[in-house]
Structure formats: structure tokens, C-alpha cells
Structure 1
Amino acid sequence: MIARESTIVATSGGHRAGRRTSVLFDALVHHAVELSGAHGRRPRVMYVGTAVGDAEHFTFRMTEAARVAGFDLTPLQLFPMPNLDDIEGAVLDQDVVWVMGGSVANLLAVWRVHGLDRVLRRAWESGVVLSGVSAGSLCWFQGGTTDSFGPELRPLTDALGFLPYGNGVHYDSDPGRRPLVHRMVADGTLPVTHCTDDGVGLVYRGTQLVEAVSELPGKGAYIVTRDGDSVVEERVEPRLLPGPM
């Protein structure tokens, strides 16, 4: 059983340190799985690590996190070549696609070369929950702020555009993100922009934002809207998710 509606969970979180493993899936990943409607069997989750160059140690950590969580994990790797014969079939067979953070600019370029952008749109339209952290959040929007090109944050405006908004990640932990988002919205580089503090996720049904959720207390989500030559920032209080068992 998959989600009845096209669903995206865009986050600045989803991972936490484990006691016996390096990484565990935190409440945001578990919430994406819950939204998929996968019940009565092990959820099928695809891990996409393109933004970190399909680094093997990240894939290993995600595999261990999935084992602990009780998920069946399928890594999709594109370096040095795709590791799956039928990428589209494998993606469409998932309950959730979880995209790792890293370089969103490199992620977009590699996905487009392999046609994964089109596959993911078909998956989204079919009800597979698309989700991810940082670059794995930005990719679903019109664009946002990125350090893909170097330590100085720069605009990115050619993301996949499944969602008709800008996106600001790590809004509370990277001091350069908020002012750059404000400038980009004020000058029209970005449309209305949805932003997340670390540990916060945004849930979309179709292209409609339906809820902000958090795995950490005291965190916020934000909607930044153009107002003449300036912006208005509205804080959205997330619902605190229960911690995973």
C-alpha cells in the first residue's frame, strides 16, 4: 500500500547518532514511512546518496540504520555507473525515497544525465513518498541557498520544481541562510520560500503544504513572502513527533 496522494517530506533532519551504530533514522524518516501507508510488512525505502558521490561509508551507515529500524533498504547508486538494471521499476516499487544531503548542484546534474528526475516525478505522481535532508529537501523545490559551489552561500534556481516554492534548509544553524533567503525573495530570485530549522520537516500533499513537524522541541518552520522591496517572515509552529521506538 502506498500513499494515496503525491507526498513530499522536505527536511533539515532525519538522522541521529546511534549507540551501537553510527547513525539511526530519527522521527522524520519514520514519519515519511508512516505517511507512505506501508503496513503489515517491512517498509521499502530507497536511499539515494548522489549528493555525497555515493560514498560507500554513508551507504553502509544508512543500511545499518534501516536494519535497526526494520526497513528493507535499496541503495540507488549512480557512481561509477547505475547499480540497478531497472531504475524506474525499482523506484516505483518503493514506499519512500530518502535523499541524502550534500551537493544539490551535483545531484541535479547527475540525476538529469541519467533521467532520474523524470523517474522521480513519475514516482511522486504514483504515490511514492519523496523525502530527504538538506540537498534532499532543496531538490524538490524551485531553488534555494546552497554551498555546492564553495563555502560562500549562493543561489540555486534550477531545482526540480515539483513544488512551486523556494526552500531554505538549516535555517537556524547556518547564519548565512536566513539573510540570503530574504534577499532572494525580496528581489524576486525566489518565489514564496518555505524554510526549516534543523530537525524540522515540511509535509506536502500534491503541492500544498499541509503540516510542519519536528523531531526536536523548540524548533520552527518559516514562510518568507515578498512585500514590495522587502519580505515578511511568518513562523509556523511544528507538531512535535514522537521519538522512534
Structure 2
Amino acid sequence: MKKIVAIGGGEIKNLETIKIDKEIVKSTMKQTPKALFIPTASGEPKEYIEAFSKVYGEKLGCKVDVLKLIDENIKESEIEYKIMDSDIIYVGGGDTKTMLEIWKEKKVDKALKKAWEKGTILSGLSAGSICWFESGHSDSMSFLDGREEWNYIKLNALGFIKAMHCPHYNEDNREEDFAKKIMKYDVIGIAIENNCAIEFKDNQYRVLTSEEGAKAYKVFKKDNSIMKEEIKKISTYRPLEELLTK
């Protein structure tokens, strides 16, 4: 069973996404699942790793491991072993562009595809949700040194979900800019607010939330106008085809 949980945003250390995190762990159907944290996008800071370990390890009962790719001279075989040995893979937020470049260089993308096809639960937040889609609405230009002014960009990602994804949809001017990208590229857009997630299970999906009122939307171009439809939160799974077609 292929499964991806794409979280729009929220602070894991403040337990803002805890209800979603619980669902991720529960769906492994294991007493002590192995959770692998990949914090490439944020530069692998100690505080973020500790926050993840506290939530997924201490609170949710996982056996936590971390995949560090930046400063450590790790072999491709070890990368693949860590990824394939996990029940849950959680990708942290940050600079999506740099993360994907590092992944490609170290063949992390190929290992993640193998894990997904095997049935490992792929999850993550912000950069860690963009990565699973065909493309994403990214703020990676904001991470460049000395940049006071920057623009959102369309980034090609791993392509497991055939849509363009916008995380943090309720922040800044993302909604307005995402609409421009959808108008330009004419693709299906999946926009997710903070403290909201979409769980993709084989050819089905459902919305998960950790806060009342957090929402997800399908955004697409029709007759030269932008359409925005709320993706309703219901208890049952819906066919994925209805989400990824106009």
C-alpha cells in the first residue's frame, strides 16, 4: 500500500500538528514503528532533530533515527538501508530547492521511491510536503544570502503525486501567488493550510487536521479563470482521481 501524508505547515515542537502525527504513527499498525527524520531542508539543526525525537520518540512511541546528508560522509548504501528499514519517513521544512539538489546528488530520491513502492509511509511538512508532488510553490529564494526581496518559484519535485502543491496556503500572499502559478502553468494545484494535511493512500485520499478550521483546497484553471474548491474533511476516503482532474 502506497501512502503519503502531506502536511501544510505548523510547529512540531509546539505540538501544533500532534493530531496528524498521531494518525501517521497509528497507520503503521505497529507497537514501536521506526521513524526516520530527514532534516536536509533546514540544514540539519540540532534543535529541530531534538523536537522531532521528542514528539515521535517520547510522545508517540517510535524508534527514531535521523538521516544526515550535509556534513556527514555517508555512503549511498547506508542511505538506502536507513530509508528502506523505516516504517515512517518524515521530511522536515526549510529550503526545498537545496534539499532536492542534495537528494539527487546522493540518490536519496531513488531510495525514497523504492520505499514508497514498498509501503513505507512518506510524510513531512512544508518542504517535506512539496517534495512528494510533481511540483511545488516554493519560497526557496528567501533562503539565499542577503536577499531582502524575493519571489515564489515553481520547483519540480519527485512526482509521486501528479499535482502542484502549495503549503502554508494561509500565510503571507501565497494564495494570490499560487493562483498566478496555476494560471501560468495550467496544472492541478493542491493547497494546504497550516495544521492541515492530506493523506494519500493508493488511489484514495482524505483530509486530516490538527486545528479546527484548517483547510485544504483544489485550485485549477477553467475558462481562463482560477477556480478554488475546498477539499472537504470527511471520515471516509475519496477517489484520488476526483482530486487530480478538473
2:33 pairs with 1:35: no
The CA deviation at 1:218 is 1.1
Superposed CA RMSD in Å reads 2.0
Q: Does 1:99 align with 2:94?
A: no
Query: Equivalent residue for 2:157?
Result: 159
Conservation of the 8 A alpha-carbon contact between 1:214 and 1:239: no
Q: Report the Cα distance in structure 1 between the residues aligned to 2:3 and 2:105, rounded to whole angstroms.
A: 25
- The Cα of 1:13 is off from its aligned counterpart by 3.7
Deviation for aligned residue 1:199? 0.4
Cross-structure match for 1:184: 181
Instruction: Map 1:1-245 to 2 at 5 A.
Output: 5-13=1-9, 15-17=11-13, 26-38=18-30, 41-65=31-55, 66-82=57-73, 86-150=78-142, 152-172=150-170, 174-188=171-185, 191-206=187-202, 208-239=203-234
Pair 226,104 (structure 1): closer, same or farther in 2 beyond 3 Å: same
Q: Is the 8 A contact 1:196 1:220 kept in 2?
A: yes
| Distance in 2 (alpha carbons) for counterparts of 1:48 and 1:12 | 17
Query: Which stretch of the first structure deviates more once superposed, 215-224 or 61-70?
Result: 61-70
Whole-Å Cα distance in 2 between the matches of residues 158 and 236 of structure 1? 23
Shift of 1:82: 4.7
Q: 1:204 to 1:139 in 2, by over 3 A?
A: same
On the 8 A contact 2:188/2:220 being kept in 1, the answer is yes
Partner of 2:230: helix, strand, or coil? Answer: strand
Q: Is the partner of 2:70 in helix, strand or coil?
A: coil
Q: Counterparts of 2:221 and 2:232 in 1: how far apart (Å)?
A: 21
Shift of 1:35: 2.0
How many angstroms does 1:58 deviate by? 1.4
C-alpha change, 1:166 and 1:125, in structure 2 (3 Å) is: same
CA distance in 2 between counterparts of 1:15 and 1:72 reads 21
- Structure 1 runs of 4+ aligned residues shifted over 6 Å read none
CA shift, 1:161, in A, is 0.9
SS at match of 1:180: helix
Report the CA distance shift for 1:83/1:14 in structure 2 as closer, same or farther (over 3 A): farther
Q: Determine if contact 1:143/1:155 at 8 Å carries over to the other structure.
A: no
SS of 1:182 mapped into structure 2: helix
3-state SS of paired residue (1:142) = strand
- TM-superposed deviation, 1:239: 4.8
1:210 is displaced (CA, Å) by: 1.1
Distance in 1, matches of 2:87 and 2:217, equals 28
TM-score (norm 2): 0.85
SS at structure 2 position matched to 1:57:
helix
C-alpha separation in 2, matches of 1:14 and 1:32: 15
Q: Report deviation, 1:125.
A: 0.4
- Structure number with the higher helix fraction is 2
CA contact (8 A) 1:145 1:153 kept: no
Q: Greater shift after overlay, 57-66 or 193-202? A: 57-66
Deviations 1:205-237 (A, max 9, x none): 23x451011010011110011113221110123
User: What residue ranges of structure 1 are gaps of 5+ in the alignment?
Assistant: 241-245
The one-letter code of the counterpart of 1:12 is: G
